[in-house]
Amino acid sequence: MRIEIYTSDYTIPSDLFGQENPPPGQPIEVPGSATLTYAGMTIQESAGAPDVINLIVQFVQQNLPGVGVGVFSSWLYDKLKNRDVKKVRINRREVRLERQEIIRIIEETTEEE
């Protein structure tokens, strides 16, 4: 699953990955039995346009996949709330930055995969 975060807050990748300047392509384990991979940042050329943080999320198969999705979704929301996030897209689908909305969209997306 691809997640795009449109922002001008350059500290978000460091906060998500627990290190400054996380290397692209190296997955880490995150809450919810998931792995998160930093796929780099897309810098927008036009003035005032937010840059895009690109992430890839994979869930480990488990007995209760919905629980892991909920835990990961809440973790992601907590990392992004009260930040300068303009927009979040999950598999090209724009999502409101609200806990329940993120959970709903990630659950729907994992069911489709």
Query: pLDDT tens across 73-106, in order?
Result: 999 999 999 999 999 999 999 999 999 999 999 9
Domain that holds residue 65: 2-112
Closest alpha carbon to 18 in 77, 71, 79: 79
3 has which bridge partners?
55, 90
- The enclosing H or E element of 52 equals strand 51-59
Average pLDDT for the chain: 91
Number of domains within the chain? 1
Range with lowest mean pLDDT among 13-27, 30-44, 60-74: 60-74
Helix, coil or strand: residue 17: helix
Question: What's residue 63's pLDDT?
Answer: 45
The amino acid occupying position 87 is: K
Percent of residues in the chain assigned helix, strand, coil, to nearest 5: 30, 35, 35
